[in-house]
Amino acid sequence: MTQSLIHPMISMPKALHEAVGDGAPVVALESTIISHGMPYPQNIETALSVEALIRKQGAVPATVAVMGGRPTVGLTSAEIEHLGKKGQGVIKVSRRDLPRCMAGGLDGATTVASTMILAAKAGVAVFATGGIGGVHRGAETSFDVSADLEELGRTSMAVVCAGAKAILDLPKTLEVLETKGVPVLGYQTDDLPGFYTRSTGLPVDQRLDTPADIAAQMHAKWGFGLSGGLLVANPVPDAFAMPADAINSAIEQALREMETQGIAGKQATPFLLARVSELTGGDSLTTNIRLVENNARLAAEIAIAYAKGA
């Protein structure tokens, strides 16, 4: 990777710019999880601890957002704190929202889709998140399908997650990923993890047991000119996994309340995550934090292996 491949409209700290130019291992991180995914102050604490964890693994963290209209890869701690304190007052930005946010000089928290876009334009190939968006339940009538799936089909990025969010229709989500040509790789698992749980019983496309195996597929796919992402499904650590019955019951209740209150679109996921956390007495938030840390750790290892093979 050379610095000339970094888009001139991307704002990056000098040290990160040099790291990308030198081919160092870099891991992108989203910012919607800070503003919309967790309450204050756990959102800021988690964001900073995840960055520290990536550094400890030997890689470079790069939290992504739009700050004052400028696409930014590599937030300062002050910028992370700003997004965390402002919370849902920050615009949630996906692909369609980037032009509005940039032209208007606004702050925007990036989703999985927009984080992939900005990270790719900054020369970053590995991204750690909690869970991806997907096909929502009832999408056959609502047509509510996350832009994350479209982005995975078009942007070349290895996305490490704990599966798709458990509030979604997971079989349909896998079908769309297949249609988009996105390999779903299970890290040391044959089954798709269920975000809060280690398995949904749904098969992944392939099980891979080392970060080097995943990096090899990244090189093979993109080296052959096949654009698009790879989804790395990394189960939540067993010690923090939730009982399937408990989490599914909470999700079903939250979904009923969402429908009754007429909540949809961008507000659906933040509402559901917050309500599920309330219904589980905060247990789901703890699980969410631990799985994000686990994904960041694996992403750093993949980024290191990928850099070695460049």
Q: Are 37 and 273 in contact (CB under 8 A)?
A: yes
Q: Are 31 and 64 in contact (CB under 8 A)?
A: yes
Q: Of 198, 196, 195, 136, which is closest to residue 169 (Cα–Cα)?
A: 136
Q: Choose the catalytic residue: 51, 79, 81, 165.
A: 165
Taking CA atoms, 248 is separated from 93, 200, 215, in Å, by: 28, 11, 34
- 160 SS3 class: strand
- The whole-angstrom separation of Cα 19 and Cα 248 is 42
Taking CA atoms, 161 is separated from 19, 183, 192, 212, 230, in Å, by: 24, 13, 10, 17, 11
Q: Of 307, 310, 257, which is closest to residue 25 (Cα–Cα)?
A: 307
Taking CA atoms, 54 is separated from 26, 102, 126, 157, 228, in Å, by: 9, 29, 12, 18, 24
User: Can 165 be counted among the known catalytic residues?
Assistant: yes
- The whole-angstrom separation of Cα 124 and Cα 28 is 7
- The whole-angstrom separation of Cα 33 and Cα 46 is 9
Burial 185-219 (b: 16+ CB within 10 A, else e): bbbebebbbbbbbbbbebebbeebeebeebbebbe
Question: Are β-strands 26-29 and 126-128 bridged in parallel, bridged antiparallel, or unpaired?
Answer: parallel
Q: Choose the catalytic residue: 30, 81, 151, 301.
A: 30
User: Can 86 be counted among the known catalytic residues?
Assistant: no
Q: Is the dihedral of CA 154, 189, 201, 129 positive or negative?
A: negative
Which residue numbers are catalytic? Answer: 30, 165
